[in-house]
Structure formats: structure tokens, C-alpha cells
Amino acid sequence: MTIITRDVISAADRLIGKAVVTPLLESPVLNERVRGRVLIKPEIFQLVGAFKFRGAYNRLSRLTEAERAHGVVAFSSGNHAQGVALAASMLGMPSLIVMPSDAPQVKVDATRAYGAEVRFYDRARENREAIAQALAEERGAIVVPAFDDPFIIAGQGTVGLEIAQQARLLGAQLDVAMGPVGGGGLMAGTSIALKARHPDIDIFGVEPAAFDDTRRSFEAGKRVAAPAAGRSLCDSLESPMPGELTFPILRENLTGVLTVTDAEVAEAMRYAFNTLKLVVEPGGSVALAALLAGKLQLAGRTAVIILSGGNVDPDLYARVIKGEV
């Protein structure tokens, strides 16, 4: 299925009165630092504290009454889990989330609080997709992927649709857009919407240096996985490979892929807290990290960056802010 702007607009219609229309923020201090104009899209203010609710609700709202009766199964380290759990609760259907046993406790607790059943797995020894598929078959449920689904991609694309509309109201001509890439759902959908309104915009995905599968895939011209590299501070961006549906969209619409280190991410989190007064999780901070680290020169240009989520473990966050990470 080819995802086009009309699909994103349809998703936006579904989300009216359900999802938060997050604002575009601006910081004179940040503008001065990068010698350009930065518009910040804070999806930390979205329901469940991350953009993932958009795609989850768009996908689940398309299920038939018969499908809803059997519920849904998803696999996620946290934000997609919460998005599916809340969307399922709002639509009156059961949900089961397959989560890694080392997922941040704050995300596990929130997923359960939204009404989902949680099934843990060992990410080093078990396959989460296989577990989810087996559980879905056992229950007659629908598997809801984190990114490789047309309705998920279109739902995440409403971030880009809002950015384009809000930038127009601000009289801003966007030159650059930056956001995180894990599996690629957010930037695939967002790039579709932004390119429709700003054909000449340069769009960059940003990912952890230790999980640079999208960058490697761009260089190879096909989907490839990054070598096993342990863990990243950005637990939400550890997808091993871009999606089958998302990668062709990313390859067509993105100018390139930037990478950031854990140290650069931690510095961005501190900057967001101390200067922007925003709480942003590691994976949600990568676009800001790339900007602050000078990975992209912005002098004289206008950029929009997406802070994709704010669900960070409290103990980890405290250590980051204290400069211990």
C-alpha cells in the first residue's frame, strides 16, 4: 500500500478530539546558539507522553467490531506499548503488550495503568515478534506493529501535518526538519506530510551512533542491520533495521541520516531541562542533540525539530541531569 498525503489527512480526521494538537515552541536562547530559527514540536505533551498514540489510535480505530472483541497484541519497549494500551482502552478492547524484561519501569507501569496486560520477554534470547504472533493466534487478536503498518505511518504523519499548518500560521518557511528514526514510522509519515507542503525542505533522521541501521541502509541502498552493539541510552530507538514499508519512504524523502552519541544525547537532555524547561527522554532528544553538537549547520535557516517523547526512567533522568551519565 502506498501511503500518500490523503492518508495522513484521513488519520488527522480520526484523531480530532482524541489526540493532543501539540504546539510549536521557540527559544530565543536556542536560536542565538545555532544562529538560526528553531521551531520545537514537543510530542512530550501528547497523550502517553509520546507521538506513538497517534499511529496506535489511527490503526485501532480501523478495526471492525468483530476484531475489537478479540483485542490486539503489540510488542514494544514502552511508548508504542502505552499508545496501544490507551487507544485500546478508549475504544473498548483488550490489549496485550510484549515488553522486554529490562524495559524502563516507568513505561511498564504506565502501560499497565492504561489497562493492558503485559507479557515480558528476554531481548537477548527471545524473539518478540514470534511471541506476539503466537499470542495473537492463540487469542484471535490482531498484531499491531510499532511502525511497519500503513495506518501507523499515516497516524504518525499527523505530526508533520500539524507542523506544516502551524509553521504557516507563524509565517515560517521551513528549510530543515529533524526527528528520530528507530523503525522509521514517525519520519516516514512526517516526511510525507512535510514534503507535500514544503517540497524543497531538507529532512534528516537522527539515530544513536550504536544503532545506525538507517544510516547504513541509506549507504547500502537497501535495508541492512547495524552490528550488535550492546545497548544505547536511547532505548526507544534500538530497532535493528528500518521497516519494509518505512525504508522506501525514508529513502525517497529524507536528505540524510545523522547519528549522535549517548554523551551528546545526555547533554541535550540537560539542555532541554535547564534551558528549554522540558523533560525529554533519551530517544526523544536526538534531534536536539544533533543540533547542539553541530551535526548540521543552521545559520540563517529555519528548522523544526521533533522532541518525540518524555517517558524517561526517573532514576536515569536524575543521573543525567546531575551529569553522571
Task: Answer yes or no: are the C-beta atoms of 289 and 264 closer than 8 Å.
Answer: yes
Please tell me the distance from the alpha carbon of residue 249 to that of residue 23, in angstroms, as a whole number. 26
* Catalytic residue selected from 10, 41, 52, 195: 52
Q: Is 101 exposed, middle or buried (0-12, 13-18, 19+ CB in 10 A)?
A: exposed
Other C-beta atoms within 10 Å of 268: how many?
26
* Catalytic residue selected from 76, 236, 285, 308: 308
Residue type, 208: P
Annotated catalytic, 239?
no
* Cell output for 158: 499527523
Rama region for 149: left / alpha / beta (φ>0; ψ in -120 to 50; rest): beta
Annotated catalytic, 308?
yes
Task: Answer yes or no: are the C-beta atoms of 87 and 155 closer than 8 Å.
Answer: no
Task: Answer yes or no: are the C-beta atoms of 35 and 299 closer than 8 Å.
Answer: yes
- Which residues are identified as catalytic? 52, 308
